[in-house]
Amino acid sequence: MVIKKLTPKEFEEWLDNIFKGDPAESRAFCERTMNPNYLRFQAGGGRTDFETAVEKVTHFRTICKKWVAPVIFLVQEENKIAAQLKVEMIIGDGPEKKMELMFMGTRDDQGRFENVWELSADFEEAAQ
């Protein structure tokens, strides 16, 4: 089965919906877009399985005050996808953060994310 490629806008919308939306609908969102065997690894440590993803999506949707993450770069080959994003976010009462996010993942035959790897780093704009 050929997996439909995501446009940069569709990928951005998927990621946005992790942080924005009704917390009560988090499980339904995860079931629609993530494989039950979902596994996310974060560079430098951290592992998220499907149930933990549901908890995190609920948490983020509850406390996220700002999330802007335009896609800078997106490439896909068969079920593999890689993306680069610049993120501006405010979580809870924390300060606004600017980060660069590198994302790589695989999707199952239904187009749901299955294995994901992420690397994020604080982003500092060059002084002009």
CATH architecture of 8-121: Roll (3.10)
Q: What local confidence, expressed as pLDDT, does residue 128 receive?
A: 45
Average pLDDT over residues 41-59: 94
Whether pTM > 0.75 for this model: the answer is: yes
Say which range, 14-23, 78-87, 95-104, 118-127, has the weakest mean pLDDT.
118-127
pLDDT at 56 over 80: yes
Q: What local confidence, expressed as pLDDT, does residue 3 receive?
A: 80
Question: What would the 3-class secondary structure string for the chain be?
Answer: CCCCCCCHHHHHHHHHHHHCCCHHHHHHHHHHHEEEEEEEEECCCCEEEHHHHHHHHHHHHHHEEEEECCEEEEEEECCEEEEEEEEEEEECCCCCEEEEEEEEEEECCCCCEEEEEEEEEECCCCCC
Q: Domain spans of the chain?
A: 8-121
pLDDT at 109 over 60: yes
